[in-house]
């Protein structure tokens, strides 16, 4: 019993000593651990501070970069907008340039066309001028031939537009207060009709005149009847009716001024005016030209 008690006491005492020893070891460990923690804290605190500062600086840098990136993006967007606007303006300018080039090309084409038409018109004008000149010369030759032929029949005066055949009392007489044609008058008119029928392109005007003796109305009517008598005979001889025109002037258009017997004899007359209708004397060629 004592042996057991002693043994138990020894065990209890040993256990107590062990616990005491172990408690001492734990205190030392705690103090050592606390020291280590202090050292670690002293060592890590600056590191943490440095890391925090670095992190703050990094955040600031990132924020600055974000702002820079935002500004850069805004600048890029502005540049892109400017580029688009420039491209739009360039496109509009290109369209305007194309329209201007098309207008210029059309203008040049119209100018070439107008020039060609002007050249053609000039060539036509020159050709027409040559034709007109040749035709005018032919007509002058024809009228000269007619004038020469008619001058063998009666007194004939050449005019710029034709000629005038004077049927005065030297060769063409009417009885007093009469419009009847004498045989001699008919012969003269037949020969004149022969010359006219051998030609073309003219109109014939037959004018009756009297001297200054007698009533004006009487003389006017007498001159008209005599002119119409000559017109009717030429028509019977084959001269086309449509180219004949008769008119009386009475004593209003004397050939010779004065009241002498010779002047009155020359003023009692019939005139046959022959006017060319092929060449119009304004530089144009009549449509009647063959």
214-239: pLDDT as tens digits: 889 999 999 999 999 999 999 999 99
Q: For 272-282, what is the mean pLDDT?
A: 76
The pLDDT value recorded for residue 14 is 53
CATH class of 152-285: alpha beta
- As given in the structure block, the two tokens for residue 27 are 């205190």
Predicted pLDDT of residue 283: 42
Q: Which long-range contacts (CB under 8 A, 24 or more apart) does 59-67 make?
A: none
Distances 73 to 1, 64, 79, 84, 245 between C-alpha atoms, Å: 97, 14, 9, 16, 102
pLDDT value, residue 31: 60
Mean pLDDT of 136-161: 88
Q: What's the CA angle centered on 201, arms 196 and 202, to 5 degrees?
A: 65
The answer to which of 4-18, 81-95, 172-186 has the lowest mean pLDDT is 4-18
pLDDT (tens digit per residue) in 73-98: 777 777 777 777 877 777 787 888 88
> Mean of the per-residue pLDDT values for the chain?
78
pLDDT recorded at residue 9: 46
Is 118 a residue whose pLDDT tops 70? Answer: yes
Residue 247 confidence class, pLDDT cut points 50, 70, 90:
very high
The DSSP result for the chain, as a single string, is -HHHHHHHHHHHHHHHHHHHHHHHHHHHHHHHHHHHHHHHHHHHHHHHHHHHHHHHHHHHHHHHHHHHHHHHHHHHHHHHHHHHHHHHHHHHHHHHHHHHHHHHHHHHHHHHHHHHHHHHHHHHHHHHHHHHHHHHHHHHHHHHHHHHHHHTTSEEEEETTEEEEEEETTT----TT--PPPHHHHHHHHHHHHHHHT--SEEEEEEEE--S-S-HHHHHHHHHHHHHHHHHHHHHTT--GGGEEEEEEETSS-SS-S-SHHHHHHHSEEEEEEEESSEETTTEE-TT--
Give dist(CA 114, CA 101) in Å, integer: 19
Specify the pLDDT at position 237: 94
Q: What is the pLDDT of residue 231?
A: 95
Residue 126 or residue 174, greater confidence: 126
Residue 4 pLDDT exceeds 70: no
pLDDT band at 255 (very low <50, low <70, confident <90, very high): confident
Residue 242: pLDDT band (50, 70, 90) is very high
| Confidence check: pLDDT of 258 > 80 | yes
40 pLDDT band, cuts 50/70/90, is low
């Amino acid at each position: 019993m004592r042996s057991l008690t002693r043994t138990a006491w020894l065990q209890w005492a040993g256990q107590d000593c062990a616990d005491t020893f172990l408690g001492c070891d734990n205190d030392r460990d705690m103090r050592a651990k606390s020291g280590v923690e202090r050292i670690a804290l002293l060592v890590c605190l600056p590191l943490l501070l440095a890391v925090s500062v670095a992190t703050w600086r990094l955040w600031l840098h990132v924020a600055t970069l974000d702002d820079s990136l935002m500004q850069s993006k805004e600048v890029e967007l502005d540049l892109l907008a400017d580029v688009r606007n420039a491209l739009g303006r360039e496109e509009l300018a290109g369209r305007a340039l194309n329209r201007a080039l098309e207008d210029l090309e059309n203008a040049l084409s119209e100018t070439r066309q107008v020039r060609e038409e002007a050249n053609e018109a000039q060539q036509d004008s020159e050709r027409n001028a040559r034709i007109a000149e040749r035709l005018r010369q032919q007509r002058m030759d024809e009228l000269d031939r007619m004038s020469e032929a008619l001058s063998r029949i009666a007194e004939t005066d050449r005019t710029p537009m034709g000629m005038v055949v004077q049927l005065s009392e030297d060769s063409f007489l009417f009885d007093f207060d009469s419009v009847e044609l004498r045989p001699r008058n008919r012969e003269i008119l037949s020969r004149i009709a022969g010359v006219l029928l051998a030609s073309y392109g003219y109109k014939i005007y037959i004018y009756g005149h009297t001297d200054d003796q007698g009533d004006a109305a009487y003389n006017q009517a007498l001159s008209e009847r005599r002119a119409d008598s000559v017109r009717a005979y030429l028509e019977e001889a084959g001269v086309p009716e449509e180219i004949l025109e008769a008119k009386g002037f009475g004593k209003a258009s004397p050939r010779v001024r004065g009241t002498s017997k010779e002047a009155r004899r020359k003023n009692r007359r019939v005139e046959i005016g022959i006017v060319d209708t092929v060449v119009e004397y304004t530089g144009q060629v009549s449509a009647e030209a063959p």
